[in-house]
Structure formats: structure tokens, C-alpha cells
Structure 1
Amino acid sequence: MHPRDISDLNASLLRLADQIAREMGLPIKHAVNRADFSARLSELVRRQTDSSIRLYGFRAQHMFAYVIAALGEVAVITEEDQGIFFDSSGLLTRPDFRIQTKKGSQILVEVKNFRASSIDDCFVIGEKYLERLANYSSTVGIPLKIAVYWVGWNCWTLIDPSRLSLEGRKFRLSIMEAMKINEMGLLGDVHVGTEVPLVMRLHADLTKPRSIDLHGLAPFTIGRVTLHVGGKEITNQLEIKIAALLIFFGKWGDVKTPVAVSGGLVDHFDFIVQPEIISEGQGFELVGSMSQIVSNQYLYSTSEKEGVTSLAPKSDVKEFGVLIPDSYQGQVLKLWRFQQMPNTFEGEESES
């Protein structure tokens, strides 16, 4: 664990211990040695972990920070809603993050996790709650955005609150509308495409047994692993990293695992991924957005079959995603990248 992370953890633990001790009416050093202090602490942790809404909500908040850090356009990410806070007006709510981009602009971001049961379900945020966030934004002079993670579609959208529609006392937003006004591209998100198919080939060690017996059973030892795209082997190290990320965490759903056999000996296994429908004459297919790919990587690192195992992975944020240089040309792995920009208001002209 990074020394800074340890320092933050110690500060959080001390604040929590102080809060419990004050509730018990005891000095903190006396309270921590009592059984009822431990019981109170355990109860607080249990309540939080038993609440799936809070558990998944906090994980989405952590995931957003990892995702935008991996996209490469952000210089600084700070948790805005942590630490001492005094509000003389009583009308402010701090959003989750303050973000500064490498171009020098700043935004405040409130992160929300939304699980829709159908494409018609709308994300909802209360008018008063959004007003309190907007009051804070106005007070500190930094624009506010709402980041929504659409669970069923593994999709991030970054929304300007002024684009939300008010119905009664709630602001509502469908995923179809959210996609049109999505500003994730401003933080470096791109949709990535490449040639078909992507292949991971597991070559047999030729010095080890690999013959197939009468029952169809064959021992197999991996000698080396190669990656391929469009029938060509990838040898550049950056391209190998990008291809591996696309294979394991992209959205292509047609997976095949053929085995190559020659003379009764296993030669290699292929792990082939491609989209279920291939566009004729296009020359490439979209594998997903970088925010989706990094999110899949994050979910894999923090989940098991029974659900959430941790809010954040053990790995450092630098291990997530692959930063693709703006000048990337590609030797074998050709990439198509599309940066989506939000559409404009009706009657409003886009900037040229």
C-alpha cells in the first residue's frame, strides 16, 4: 500500500474511533479498549456491507476515479466530499470528486450507480439534492457534472445538469438521451475499433508429451503465447498490451476455441474473439469504449460469483487500461478511435 494511502486510512480510522467514543461519552483512549466499542464498530461495518445499494454505489464511485485516470486526460483527481466541511448557509452538498484535466480546466463530479430493468427506465435525481450540489458548484466557481454508471450496459455517461429534464420534483434521464449528451469524450474516452478477429494462440511445448490417445486425451504444456489480429502476428510490445486488453475486456461476444492437431500431436490452442455480426466491407469492428474496457477490468478485479469482494482493487491505477498515444499509427494492430462529443441544445450551434 502506498504511504499516502496508509496515511489516509489512519486518518479515517481515527475520525471513526473519535466519533464512536464521543457517542459513548468517553475519551477516545478509554473507549477503544471496551467491548462495546468493538461491537459498535462491527455493527457499523456490517450495516454498510449488508446494504447492496451503498456497496455497489461506493464501488462505482471508486471505479469512476480509476477509469478516468486510465483514460489519460486527467492530471489530478481529488475526493471532494472527504474531511472537515463547514457550510454557513446549510444549503450546500459536496460532490464526490474535483477533477483537473491536463489542459488546466476543472470540474466537480457527482457519481451515481444506476441499475435499469429496461431501456425505458430513467435515472432519477431529486431537485433539492441537485440544487444543493449546484449551490456548492456556484460557491466554489467550478462547473458541476453528473457521472452515471449504467450497470446493465456497462456504460459511463458524463452529463451537464442543465441538460436534465425536470418532472415534478425529480430530474429524469434515459440512457438514450444520456448517450446523446455524453461528455466522457472530454476526459479522454474513445470508442476503439480494430480488425477481425483477435486471437490468443497457446503454442504447445514441443519438448513435452502432446500426443492424443485412443480416448481423445492429450497432455498439453504451453511453450509460448502469441497474439494475432486479422491473421497477422503482433510483435510490438505496446500493441501486445493493447490487444490483450481488447481480447479479455472488450465486448466482442463470439468466442471460439479451436485446437490445431497435426499427425496426432497437439500443435496449439486458439482463443478467438470477434463480434457476432461483422459489417461487410467496413474493415474493422468496434470493441467498445475505453471506459467500458477499463470498467470490465475493474469489475473483474473487485468481484467474484457471490458479488463485490472489494471497493477498489489491490492493483495501482497505472495497471489499468493502456494509454494509447495520440500519434499511434500501429504496425500490425490497426486501431480506429472515435471521440464522441455531446450534441448541442436545440437551436444552438456547435463550436467549429
Structure 2
Amino acid sequence: MAKPKKRYKKHPGLLLSELEKVTSPCTNCGADNSIDWLNEMRFPHEAIEPHGGGGRWVPISVPVQCKICESHYHHKIPVLERESTWHLYGDEAWRIIEDKGKRIHFFCITLVALHNSRQEELNLKLRKFKLEARPELAPEEWPHHFTEIWSDSGAKRKFALSGLKEKIQYGERLAKMIAGLSPEIVCYNISSATILKGTRKEIAATIKLQKEQIFKEALLITLDSMRQNKKGVVWHFDNVKDSTTREVTEGWAMECFLGLQYTPLFTYLAGGTYIPEPEFMKPGSHPLLEIADFISFCVARDFMKIFEGKLGEVPSARLGKINCYRTNVDGQPDAAYEMASFFLMRYFLP
């Protein structure tokens, strides 16, 4: 008896323009066939680990049915070289703004990787920042979430940064430290803005769908980028309880990843390299998770401040240029390698 399929969530509908004109010659009659890269295959294309160990078998072809003779065959995809594997660490942020009676939900995910040659430098520098913020606690005992630092106030405040001026200066120095890691740091920010309407239940469903869409886009975008640069990729995220669904992130996020594996597009992007499932970690358990948290905070706050016609207190431009992505209302992708503060202005252009 066949095993039931694991639960999975549908792909985000993104397709590389380079694949739109790719055709596949039928191995039986020779006819050229288009490939539906977003078609849902019967089974996910997962790497298989032999019982005896010794590596993995990785899919390097996708199923196609000929439009002329209707025979089934496999189309081989290009196998890309892998020089090394990079680890990307991700975190998210969101903001709600109100514009002429409309409530708009902005959501973004930041993914960050750093070359091994500067990992120890980052560890030491971030440790000093954490000791400054909470001198009574060992840095490894608490996660550096900048939202908590920013909103901390009152008699029961936890952090040593008492006033707004101190927090801004702290944030500016942290941003400068991150920018100083260039060119060994790689940063991606994937975002979208959606209008909220309907009942509370309908709004929660809209936000949940938006988060899942951005998560899947983030995986595909970074997978494509890394493989084009001859890198393998491993993703790491905070495993926290989602504020919308109250589910632990790992649950729905793993369903999103499995949904991508059901598409020929994922096989193409992997380019013959084993791509493991994302890893979900204890919040703050790696310095780059904390860096991704800070970058997402700056970008989301910039979105809100730009709408208000102001400049963010710690502008994301201070982080230097990053790889920015968004999906337009017409479904078309928009991307640029520039300072996020400038890229976000595209949301407010007529």
C-alpha cells in the first residue's frame, strides 16, 4: 500500500524568464515540447540517501509528456558545479500602515550569509554589543531581538539603553558594523505589501498566505542566486511560534519547502546538487540569526517611515547595498542590488 503524501503547500508561481522558451525534444518522436516548470509532479524530487551511505542520489531530470505521441520521458537539466556550501540565516519583520482607510500589511524576510574568514570577528563584535545592552547577562543566554530593545521602557525595562537617543546610537553602530563586513557578507531581503480587508479571520488568513508566499519566494530566489554562483545552500531560521497562526514556524515552513520539491523548477534550480530541508533553530542561537533580525527590523521600519514621509531612525541605507526583491501587484518580480531605503520607495511610486 502506497504511503500517503505528506502535507505540502503549493508553489508561489514564480518562474525564471530564461525558462519560458526552453523546449524538450521527445525521445520517441523528436517533437519539441514545452515544459511546465510549475506543474505538480506525482512525487517530490527529493535526494535519496543509499542504505549503505556514501552520498546521495540527486534528481537531474524532470518528467515530460509529448504533445504529439503522448509518450512519457525525462528531460535532463543542466548540472551546475558546486565549489562550496553557504549557510543562510533568516528572520522576518512586519508593519501595518493605514492609507486612506486601507490597512496595508508589509512583511519581509532577510537572509544573511557570511564567509568563514569573518565568522569569529562577527561573534566577538556582536558579543560586545550584547554585553552593552544587557551587561548583567552572558550574551549566549539571550537572543538579540532589536524589536525588544527598541520597545523596552519603564521601570521594569530589561536593557541598559534607557532613552531613544541611546537606542538610535546603538542601532547606528550595529548597522555600521554589519556594513563593515562587506564584501564577505551576502544579504537578501524579500518583501511584499498586501491590503487587509474582511473579518478578523479573513485578515489572519491573508497574512498567513502572504508569509507563506514570501517564505517560498525567499527559498527559490536564494537557491537560484547561490547555484548560479556555484554554491550549495543550507537555510536556517528561528523556530518561533507564528503570531498569526499560533503554529510553530517549522510546521508550515516545511510544508512550503515540500511544495517546492513537487515542481520541476526546484529540480532545475538545484542543478544536480543536494539541497537539504531548512533547519529551524532556537531563537538567537547563531549570530547571523540576530543580524537578520536587525536588518529586517530596519527595513520594515523604513517602510512605515517612508509612508509617513520621514526617514527611519536607523535607516536601512546604513547597512549598505543588499539584494532586494519584491513582487508587484501584477505578479511580476522586481529586484535590485541597492540600499533597501531606496528600493522601498518603489512601493509608493504611482
Would you say same fold, with TM above 0.5? no
TM-score scaled by length of structure 2: 0.20
Q: Quick check: which one's strand share is greater?
A: 1
User: TM-score, length-normalised on structure 1?
Assistant: 0.20
Which protein, 1 or 2, shows the higher relative CO under an 8 Å CA cutoff with sep ≥ 6? Answer: 2
Structure with higher Rg: it is: 1
